[in-house]
Amino acid sequence: MAAGAPDPRRKETELTVRTLRTVDSEVKVLGSKSYTNRYLAIASLSGQDTTLENALISDDTVYFARGIEALGHVRAEIDERHETIRVTPTGEPMRAPADEIFMGGAGTPLRFLISMAGHAPGVTTITGNKRMQERPMGDLLAALPALGVDAVSVRGNGSPPVQVAGGSFRGGATQISGAVSSQFTSSLLINSVLAETDVEITITDDLISKPYVEMTIAALAEMGVQIKRDGYARFTVPAGQAFRGGSVTVEPDASGMSYFLAAAAVLGGRVTIPGIGRDSYQGDVGLVDALARMGCAASFDQKGITLTGGELHGIEIDMESMPDVVPTLAVVAAFARGTTHISNIASLRVKECDRIAAVTNELRKMGIAVDEHHDAMTITGGTPTGAVIETYDDHRIAMCFAIAGLRTEGVVIKDPGCVAKSYPTFWETLDTLFPDGKSTTFPDGKSTR
Ligand SMILES: O=C(O)C1=C[C@@H](OP(=O)(O)O)[C@@H](O)[C@H](O)C1
Ligand SMILES: C=C(OP(=O)(O)O)C(=O)O
């Protein structure tokens, strides 16, 4: 849905989700956050005029567009109505801005910008909101000096604010841990393209969230840049490659899609998402197979992805490669017969909130038994009851519990506007599932539209 006048619900303190008997809808979801971030980064380094079509225009991508512009070498023109972002060189070289760059809660953009600032002569200071100032950057900061870039955490705790001394991104060989976030590796891969010499990146342990690195390599290839690799152990970025500009089209967001697939799963209805298929590099498409294992029917064809709900039962699943859809699957598991064990998800503890703790707390409020482990969650399905859901300034907690509210009476979502991080039109899209076009009410029962 094209962004029109901003949805007034973004400013509410809480909303009650209306229940829905069933669903049979085609849902057009917004463009991918991860692809939009990658294309923005690559376009900004390319020296070419580049237009992103079907771009995600949300808090995170707007922070990134403004962050890139702060380095002085490009303009990023956002056209919300047409869902495009046009990146054009200003003709000026990159340079560290005098003011610090504030990136809000945008984790991937902030991590991409740290390495990018390595190309900007002078000292760039990059910070974010309160939660961002707790999120880890240390592995990335430790990997940059070997390439010629000094980057430090101002408070010495590995989190923003970060200061980057740029202008001598030489290249060479570096090492990085892949255990905390794949975004560090993606940040190095993208920004190494402008290094003076080849860059060799050795991953010192097991890389998590691998599909995101595949997405980075695919986005680079689409824009003319090749990466050499030895599996996930070593990547080489050859120097002196020419970028392709022009226009790129962002595919629908697989994490955003998850909420509407979950609606089909919990309501026993059917939802089709056009414009995305099994061949996507977005690892979150894997949720479709997970929901099929839980009893839904899935099909991938020229129409896109269709999920039809069925008798739900619990499963055992390792979700290391699709962390962002863990909260979605956990909510579906609350309605399933038996137990669902989700493993290998320690990275959820350092996202917009501690998502293992948040999902555990909020499902328990709905009367669902959850065992919380450091890197896992065990959910025993049942009949969830209505509750007031805290969302912890985390878009994904708001969106997945909204789906619980389609089936369970009395689910109130606090701070519904937090969806703007990745899905500003979420509530409007949810409206489209309802025959009367209204998915929410104010807590006094008055319809919002
Ligand atoms: O590269 C990306 O676009 C992302 C990588 C993932 O992070 P981790 O690699 O930290 O798991 C994911 O959670 C995030 O929403 C987007
Ligand atoms: C973890 C997320 O984002 P980021 O790390 O980019 O802030 C997310 O969108 O779920």
Give the span between the Cα atoms of 171 and 165, in whole angstroms: 15
**Nearest alpha carbon to residue 146 among 213, 95, 192, 208:** 192
The catalytic position among 60, 139, 324, 393 is 324
Strands 122-127 and 162-166 come out as antiparallel
- How many whole angstroms separate alpha carbon 403 and alpha carbon 393? 17
Residue 329: alpha-carbon gap to chain centroid: 16
In sequence order, what DSSP letters do the residues of 408-431 get, joined into one string?
Answer: STTEEEESGGGGGGT-TTHHHHHH
Q: Is the CB of 119 under 6 A from ligand 2?
A: no
pLDDT band at 2 (very low <50, low <70, confident <90, very high): very low
Whose alpha carbon is nearest atom 7 of ligand 2?
107
Residue from 108, 139, 394 whose mutation best tests the ligand 1 pocket (most atoms within 8 A of CB):
108
In this prediction, residue 444 has a pLDDT band, given cuts at 50, 70 and 90, of low
The pLDDT assigned to 446 comes to 66
301 labelled catalytic: no
Full-model pTM? 0.97
Q: What is the pLDDT of residues 86-126, one digit of tens each?
A: 999 999 999 999 999 999 999 999 999 999 999 999 999 99
Rounded to an integer, the average pLDDT of 155-171 is: 98
pLDDT tens-place string over residues 43-80: 999 999 999 999 999 999 999 999 999 999 999 999 99
Question: For residues 36 and 85, what is the distance between their CA atoms, to the nearest angstrom?
Answer: 9
Ligand nearest to the CA of 327: 2
Atom of ligand 2 nearest to the CA of 107: 7
Q: What letter represents residue 189's amino acid?
A: L
Cα 396 to the center of its chain, rounded Å: 9
What is the rounded radius of gyration, in angstroms, for the C-alpha atoms of the chain? 21
Ligand 1 atom closest to residue 350's alpha carbon, by position in its atom list: 10
- Give domain limits for the chain: 8-30+252-441, 33-232
321 a known binding residue?
Answer: no
User: What is the rounded distance in angstroms from the CA atom of residue 120 to the CA atom of residue 113?
Assistant: 11
Ligand at minimal distance from the CA of 184 is: 1
Amino acid found at 32: S
8-30+252-441 folds as UDP-n-acetylglucosamine1-carboxyvinyl-transferase; Chain (3.65.10)
What is the whole-number distance in angstroms between the Cα of residue 18 and the centre of ligand 1?
A: 31
User: What local confidence, expressed as pLDDT, does residue 12 receive?
Assistant: 84
**Amino acid type, 210:** K
pLDDT tens for 258-282 read: 999 999 999 999 999 999 999 999 9
pLDDT of res. 3: 46
Task: For 27-113, list the strands marked E by DSSP.
Answer: 50-53, 74-79, 84-89, 101-102
Average pLDDT, the chain: 96
Q: Is 159 annotated as a binding residue?
A: no
Q: Which CATH class is domain 33-232?
A: alpha beta
The response to whether 4 counts as a known ligand-binding position is no
Supply the pLDDT for residue 68.
98
How confident is the model over 295-348, as pLDDT tens digits?
999 999 999 999 999 999 999 999 999 999 999 999 999 999 999 999 999 999
397 has a pLDDT exceeding 90: yes
Residue with tokens 């003319």: 224
Same-fold call for 8-30+252-441 versus 33-232 = yes
**CB contact at 8 A, 396 and 362:** no
Ligand 1 center to 27 CA (angstroms): 24
Report ipTM for this prediction.
0.99
228 is in an annotated binding site: no
Alpha carbon distance 9, 28 (integer Å): 20
In whole angstroms, give the CA distance from residue 186 to residue 119: 16
The Cα 331–Cα 404 span in angstroms is: 6
b/e sequence 45-64, b meaning 16+ C-beta within 10 Å: bbebebbbebbbbbbbbbbb
Question: Which single residue is written with the structure tokens 């090492």?
Answer: 175
Supply the residue whose CA is at minimum distance from atom 12 of ligand 1: 324
